[in-house]
Structure 1
């Protein structure tokens, strides 16, 4: 099943997609904070080793995926405002 384009979604689906994006942003921010905390704890407890930097790698992956989703979010906001939804 292919994902629908934003212009093909009806009003309810657009609003649900916006809610889904908002909850994904909260989850990503929480994971990034947790991973930075793990990095900090590991650096203080064990010093800077090879395994200390694994959480930072995952933070990098999360932030890059967030940049890609930002374009989708902008398109979604434009479509919602074009349809005068709230």
Structure 2
């Protein structure tokens, strides 16, 4: 899987067959679910830190990791894949 600009990802996905697109969607679905669990866990750490009034690294480190997870190139690929699947009426 290559990372790159949105246009290059879209061209790459357009070249795939319907079956290949569905297989790719299955792989990215498990990635998205795992990402959501990690983000939820880190958000829980932040809420606990705020509730206990302990601002500091215990609050900032999870924020940094959430930022990195949200801006992962696979997230962009998943969004473009959803768009391509909808265009082909596969979703």
Give the TM-score category using the shorter length.
0.5 to 0.7
Q: Paired residues, what number? A: 83
- Structure 2 counterpart of 1:77, from 76, 82, 86: 82
Q: Structure 2, unaligned stretches of length 5 or more?
A: 3-8
TM-score, normalisation: structure 1: 0.66
Q: Distance in 2 between matches of 1:58 and 1:8?
A: 33
Aligned match of 1:24 = 31
Q: Structure 1, unaligned stretches of length 5 or more?
A: none
Q: CA RMSD in A?
A: 2.9
TM-score, normalisation: structure 2: 0.64
More helix by share: 1
Larger Rg: 1
Correspondence list, 1:63-74, <5 A? 63-65=70-72, 69-70=75-76, 72-74=77-79
Q: Which runs of 4+ in 1 moved over 2 A?
A: 39-46, 49-52, 72-86
